[in-house]
Structure 1
Amino acid sequence: MFAGYTVLQFVVLATAWNILGGYTGYVNFGSAAFFAVGAYTSVFFHKALPLPVPVLIVVAAVLCGLLGLAMGWLTLRLRGAFFSIATLALAVVLQTVVVNWHYVGGSRGAYIIKPVAGPIPGLSYIDYLVLVMLALAVLAIATARAIERSRLGLGFAAIRDDELAAEANGVPTLRLKLIATTISGAFMGMAGAPFPYYIGYVEPASAFGLPYAVNAIAMPMIGGTTTWVGPLIGAVLLGSLQQIATVTISSAVNLLIVGLLLVGFVIVAPNGIVGLWRKLFGRDRKGAAP
């Protein structure tokens, strides 16, 4: 159940990152910041006003959506590597704030004593959290799929393919990018909200950890970034491999696995598993290879 929760958590994170990084073409290195804000939202309310986990998820979605909107407003006038560096700086700033915020534990971290039984009769609290994360994964995938097939998705694709040409043709690029950062940030925060109850202890080094930022990028790239199913495939594949390595070898090799797979796919299949599948087996309406 713990492994299943982790894989589902990465499905939400990878799908959320892909809304901005895959659909719109803006690489966000600050995924861990949104995840951590969601986690520390739960820590704050656990001390101030204990709320049910579904309510905490909604609160985290609102806060991280607003954070994504603010980040977009400040940074989306930058492009390419400059935008990516700005998102990385955001993660560093927020981690510094949390380290010095003693109410939520500061650098020492904070313990969360979770109930033994969940609110659903017959389920432990861990089982309940897995169901909650499964619902979040389904919601994230359904949202990404709906965006991909909508006018909003066409606007995102226009920005990804050629932003200057999109602007010249009347596409409201800044507005669409702000929508992308808001939706992406909200889902990342939702993924982080149940984390303190799942793990029982949260500290800045773990919540803002490199694995969340790296996996959020690597999983969509390995699965395929231009479709909703790519992050799902990448998260299930990479997340499962990491869980197997954790129980058989050590969790220390997880990032090594990510790095090797990412380098391999960049060389062999730069468009990910979905792109490779379409190249080998896909056909357009006329029967020719796409």
Structure 2
Amino acid sequence: MSDATLPAAGLAAPRRLGHAGFWLATAAVAAALLLALRGIGSEYAYFALTIVLQYVVLATAWNILGGYAGYVNFGAAAFFAAGAYATVAFGKAMGLGLLPCIGLAGLVGGALGFGTGVLTLRLRGAYFAIATLCLSVVLQTIVVNWSYVGGSRGAYVLRPREVPWPFDTYSAYLCAVLVVLAAASVAIARTIETSRLGLGLAALRDDEAAAEATGVPTLRLKLVATSVSGAMMAVAGAPLPYIGSYVEPGSAFGLAYAVNAIAMPLIGGTSSWAGPLIGAVLLSSLQQAATVTISSAANLLIVGVLLVVFVCAAPHGIIGLFRGRR
């Protein structure tokens, strides 16, 4: 080994150890949450925590493309619903359970994200955002007219009678699955952020033309970001039919998913993996509290008020606010 390669090797080892340590810490937190679930015992507590964790996955997935790469995606609801209806379609066609359907939904979302990247290679800024919004409209039209998955009347998905060990109810099992998915999504986002891929996406976000001029493979990075983000958003939506035992186009493609997917990273901060996590936990917890105490109709009002407050007081989100004070 030459002297020139020694510093690179010395830097690479701590970085690998840092990634491994973060994955181990994330796994430990997930295991602690799984153990804590056994002491909850409330069906609504399981449901509320499942929704919060679902938004953690969705917000983290959106931030990989919208935060790291700077490509604002207005079609988050399309990928989310694609995962939900992939569960319905594969479950009906092959009789698969939740976990295999989540994996297949990820493949569907990744393929959809890759196709979106290929079709929008030359679009930037507002034009890319409009294209993703059109994707949501097109997919919703297809699902509404697809009778195999229920069409406009929706589809019922019955939960299995047998609950996997060691859970007492299927709600607890669903919550545990979302704990694992949320932990994996946060670990993936952090790994991307601290890798060469993250540096390339940051260059793409800051100035795409300058990045291309300096040799950054912007096309490849954009395809990777759209594929990974699409796969993770579809995984977030895959458990939806089992959460409520019913799914229909109006709710799966709902405005709440599209708005929250954007608002949560913006409120938490798009420059770090922790931003979407903080924003999702804060915003979705407030929405669940408002649903119980006021009305579910107040959820989007909460999003709008918090967005106005943070845009004016902390345009870089909660993470940016604390970094500025430091």
- Asked whether 1:23 is paired with 2:68, we answer yes
Partner of 2:110: 65
Equivalent residue in structure 2 for 1:189, among 234, 247, 267: 234
In 2, Cα distance between equivalents of 1:110 and 1:161? 44
In 2, Cα distance between equivalents of 1:128 and 1:264? 37
- Asked whether 1:118 is paired with 2:198, we answer no
What is the identity, as a one-letter code, of the residue corresponding to 2:184? L
Tell whether the 8 Å contact from 1:116 to 1:124 is kept in structure 2 after alignment.
Answer: no
Deviations 1:163-182 (A, max 9, x none): 11100000000110110000
Partner of 2:28: none
In 1, Cα distance between equivalents of 2:184 and 2:278? 16
**Structure 1 residue 52: Cα displacement:** 2.1
Partner of 1:223: 268
In 2, Cα distance between equivalents of 1:122 and 1:242? 27
Equivalent residue in structure 2 for 1:271, among 293, 297, 316: 316
Other structure's SS at 2:105 match: helix
Tell whether the 8 Å contact from 1:218 to 1:262 is kept in structure 2 after alignment.
Answer: yes
In 1, Cα distance between equivalents of 2:56 and 2:245? 21
In 1, Cα distance between equivalents of 2:223 and 2:165? 38
Tell whether the 8 Å contact from 2:89 to 2:149 is kept in structure 1 after alignment.
Answer: yes
Equivalent residue in structure 2 for 1:134, among 154, 161, 179: 179
Partner of 2:6: none
In 2, Cα distance between equivalents of 1:50 and 1:155? 41
1:1-290 → structure 2 map (5 Å cutoff): 1-280=46-325, 282=326
In 2, Cα distance between equivalents of 1:32 and 1:161? 26
TM-score, normalised via structure 1 length: 0.96
Deviations 1:117-174 (A, max 9, x none): 4212343111101110110000100000000100000000000111111000000001
Other structure's SS at 1:22 match: helix
What is the number of equivalent residue pairs in this alignment?
Answer: 281
**Structure 1 residue 116: Cα displacement:** 4.2
Tell whether the 8 Å contact from 1:99 to 1:106 is kept in structure 2 after alignment.
Answer: yes
**Structure 1 residue 53: Cα displacement:** 1.1
Tell whether the 8 Å contact from 2:112 to 2:227 is kept in structure 1 after alignment.
Answer: yes
**Structure 1 residue 28: Cα displacement:** 0.1
In 2, Cα distance between equivalents of 1:190 and 1:237? 21
Tell whether the 8 Å contact from 1:269 to 1:276 is kept in structure 2 after alignment.
Answer: yes
In 1, Cα distance between equivalents of 2:96 and 2:80? 19
Deviations 1:65-92 (A, max 9, x none): 0000000110131011000000000000
Partner of 1:286: none
What is the identity, as a one-letter code, of the residue corresponding to 1:159? L
In 1, Cα distance between equivalents of 2:165 and 2:321? 42
**Structure 1 residue 49: Cα displacement:** 1.4
Tell whether the 8 Å contact from 2:60 to 2:276 is kept in structure 1 after alignment.
Answer: yes
Deviations 1:188-220 (A, max 9, x none): 010111110111110000000000000000000
Gaps in structure 1 of 5+ consecutive residues? 283-290
TM-score, normalised via structure 2 length: 0.85
Give the alignment's Cα RMSD to 1 decimal.
0.8
What is the identity, as a one-letter code, of the residue corresponding to 1:274? I
Partner of 2:12: none
In 1, Cα distance between equivalents of 2:239 and 2:167? 20
Tell whether the 8 Å contact from 2:91 to 2:97 is kept in structure 1 after alignment.
Answer: no
Tell whether the 8 Å contact from 1:117 to 1:124 is kept in structure 2 after alignment.
Answer: no
**Structure 1 residue 51: Cα displacement:** 1.1
Tell whether the 8 Å contact from 2:91 to 2:101 is kept in structure 1 after alignment.
Answer: no
